Structure 1
Amino acid sequence: MITHAQGETIGQVQQLGSLLDKLHELGFPEPWPFVLRTVLGNAEGQMNLRNNVLHDLVDTPPRHQAALVLQIALAVLFLGEEPPARTGSADSGTRMPLPWNAAADQHLSFPVPDRRAHHFVTQYADMHDIVADLTLPSGIPQSAATVLHTARELLRHSYFCYEFSTVALLHALIAMEIVLRAKIPDSGTKPLHALIKQGQENGLLTERQTEFLHTGRKLRNRIAHGQRTHSVMPPRWGAGMLTTSFTLISEVWAAQPTPPTTTDTDEGTGI
């Protein structure tokens, strides 16, 4: 959350940690402030799952962590809502909404075509043709290949869930960061913008690639911070954007940094 400068008052950036500290003030009942801080916080002993996944600081998260995040998301959506009427005494416990319990009798249907997909394709088989050219670049790290494979499958299955196209693009950008970390020495936990700058300075990235990566980085940040969560794109548009990502990853993986320039000046004489 950004507060712009006003007169002599400087601007400020309110990051996630400070927002988590305000959950009690906002009326979030326990244990959710504790749960959210544990999962999203950055202090010792906390998971910081969002940061770790987006910046490739962890391998594929296990299913129990994915289930935990989904459960928390459902809980946050329903916090503050009046829970469904309960049977039994009104004093039997704190009335706290538990949406996953309320939905226990609901059965998820088998995937059905998303009606929006039919504006662009007539059947699921058409999605195979759309993603057919998205071949994994050879030689890239296995973790990057896995993420790119997931991105391609997400786009293919946007036939059933149209929003998967946006998630597919996000995964492609994550794969790009994996490759940068593998190619740039001492990348450690540097943020993506620092990796891009270092890659440009050492000749690994061209100006065109640098510009594309900064554009992708800004888009990824908007998605990650909830500013573009409802964006969708037609299948072939999504395939075009993924093709660009696949190509760029292949180029960067094959590129070699430019060695530092040297001169023939004699160090002893300065000549």
Structure 2
Amino acid sequence: MDYSIDPRAATVVVRTSDGFRPLVRADLEEVADRWASSPHIPEAIEHQLHVARQLYTHSLLVWEFGAVAVSTALLAVESALRLRLGAKRSENFAGLISRAHAAGLITDDMRSFLDIGRDLRNRFSHPTYQQVWSLGMTAPALRTSFEVIAGLFRDGAAVPDASIR
């Protein structure tokens, strides 16, 4: 199997003290390593975040993996809200966001991001084409998703029920 760099990624360079060099996976790993985390994030949600992180760092191979990473991270946010709030599966993402905001679990800025993220998640779920995002679009969306989830489980926050219903 050919693991060559996606031609769209091959145009991205990194500035160094000697000039410029091509972007490599280690550069994306360095970015992803700075995203928020918490040792209290439940394993199932941490696994979703792991997949999102891997998709992001592999987007050099398949540029579309960036958009798939964002989709996966938004699903992780929904799972985290559902778990943290003890919500039933029937409660929609908009309701989870509203409840989390009302409970003070997310800030006004996070709520705005999640409202946009909810719309994006719906577009990802009902596509008419494969979304393609640049690294400049992907990384901030992933960073914020990771921040929201880490904040929900900071300091071992109580979870009403240990399973996602």
TM-score normalised by structure 1 residue count? 0.49
Whole-Å Cα distance in 2 between the matches of residues 134 and 211 of structure 1?
19
1:228 offset after TM fit, Å? 5.8
The alignment status of 1:240 with 2:132, answered yes or no, reads no
1:158 offset after TM fit, Å? 0.5
Among candidates 106, 131, 136, match of residue 32 of structure 2: 131
Give unmatched runs, 5+ long, in structure 1: 1-108, 258-271
Q: 1:186 and 1:154, CA in 2 relative to 1: closer, same or farther beyond 3 A?
A: closer
Asked whether the 8 Å contact 1:152–1:168 carries over to 2, the reply is: yes
Asked whether the 8 Å contact 2:36–2:150 carries over to 1, the reply is: no
Higher relative contact order (CA 8 A, sep 6+): 2
2:161 aligns with: none
2:18 aligns with: none
1:148 offset after TM fit, Å? 0.4
Among candidates 70, 74, 77, match of residue 173 of structure 1: 74
Q: Deviations over 1:88-111 (max 9, x none)?
A: xxxxxxxxxxxxxxxxxxxxx322
Whole-Å Cα distance in 1 between the matches of residues 101 and 55 of structure 2?
31
Is the partner of 1:213 in helix, strand or coil?
Answer: helix
Give the letter aligned to residue 143 of structure 1: A
Kindly report the root-mean-square deviation, in angstroms, between the aligned alpha carbons of the 2 structures.
Answer: 2.3
Q: Report which of the two has the higher share of helix.
A: 2
Asked whether the 8 Å contact 2:73–2:142 carries over to 1, the reply is: yes
Asked whether the 8 Å contact 2:35–2:147 carries over to 1, the reply is: no
Give the letter aligned to residue 5 of structure 2: P
Q: 1:203 and 1:125, CA in 2 relative to 1: closer, same or farther beyond 3 A?
A: closer
- Greater Rg by CA: 1
TM-score normalised by structure 2 residue count? 0.78
Aligned residues: 148
Whole-Å Cα distance in 2 between the matches of residues 168 and 178 of structure 1?
15
Percent identity over the alignment?
Answer: 30
